[in-house]
Amino acid sequence: MSRNSEKAKPTMAVHLIAGGGAGLCEALACHPLDTIKVRMQLSRRARLPGQKPKSFLTVGRDIVRKETPLGLYKGLGAVVTGIVPKMAIRFSSFEFYKTFAKPDPVTGNVASKAVFFSGLLAGATEAVAVVTPMEVIKIRLQAQHHSMADPLDIPKYRNAAHAVYTVVREEGFLALYRGVSLTALRQATNQAVNFTAYTEFKQYAHKLQPHLKEKGLELPAYQHMLLGLVSGAMGPLSNAPIDTIKTRLQKTPANPGETAAKRILAITADMWKHEGVHAFYKGITPRIMRVAPGQAVTFMIYEAIRGWMDRVGVFKAPAVEYTT
């Protein structure tokens, strides 16, 4: 029996603490890029004659100049509030879904196909449980162009809690789940690609450094970071159009009697007609710059916290291993 198969499974407390800590670090480090991405996706400049879409550097500069640097952190409250349960659900559900797959009797590894589908289901689970309402509120806050340095410039949504109250009061509770189908599709494809790529890269890294496994050691932190960076960039490239349509869907209230499917089709047709195919990839640069470093931070911090918990015996957490 391999070393991997002898390891005890981590508890929910380990997932909560390690995942929450990793998610918090990721949000604080990368949120400005997400704000720039949302502004680019909501921009209609391409519809104006002779106007070219602004670059992500220009958008970021304009936000800082007109709204102060704090403008880059609009919607952060909604993200931080949801990041702990989001990461806890992501990692715990991923490990749970993997238990339905039969591991290799020699290596104890789960097949790549099983890792892919486990990531797919984990992404859909976090989207329904946490991500959709969190993103609806985040996008509403990020879409506001008020100056955070001017106390007289009062926006419609003052903070995350006020945004939740206002949206529910004016549009109903279900408005928090606007775009849930697209969010679930985006998160599912993201995590399927992310976990599969990270697992494969990690196995390959261990093969290149057999002395680490022989001594029961994990990969160095910088290697976890690099592997997370590469795997994190793959998801956005695979589902950019889904993310752009989702952002526009969640930004505005729905018309009475209009179904979600009808709105999605209308937004898609309108973008195609007035802005062209490039509109579906608006914000792809800052999104990759946001998601890839975010996953690098997440995996590095997650594995570091779990490794520390293992060494000090907190919850008797095992060394980190995605391939059990």
- Convert the pLDDT of each residue in 161-220 to its tens digit: 899 999 999 999 999 998 898 899 889 999 999 999 999 999 899 889 988 877 778 899
pTM for this model (two decimals): 0.73
Between CA 140 and CA 178 the distance in angstroms is 12
Average per-residue pLDDT in the chain?
83
List, in sequence order, the alpha helices (H) in the chain: 12-42, 56-67, 76-98, 112-126, 132-142, 160-171, 180-208, 210-214, 221-251, 260-274, 284-312
Work out the average pLDDT over 233-254. Answer: 84
Between CA 106 and CA 91 the distance in angstroms is 25
pLDDT: which is higher, 228 or 157:
228
Cα angle, residue 45 at apex, residues 43 and 46 outer, rounded to 5°: 110
- Convert the pLDDT of each residue in 88-100 to its tens digit: 889 888 988 988 9
Single-letter code of the amino acid located at 88: A
Q: pLDDT value at position 316?
A: 58
Residue 29 CB neighbour total at 10 angstroms: 15
Q: How far is CA 249 from CA 16, 35, 306, in A?
A: 31, 16, 38
Residue 160: band (very low, low, confident or very high) from pLDDT cuts 50, 70, 90: confident
Does residue 296 sit in helix, strand or coil? helix
Tokens of 70: 């704090």
Report the candidate in 94, 89, 111 with the shortest Cα–Cα distance to residue 102.
Answer: 111
Q: What is the distance, to the nearest Å, from the Cα of residue 233 to the centroid of all Cα atoms in its chain?
A: 11
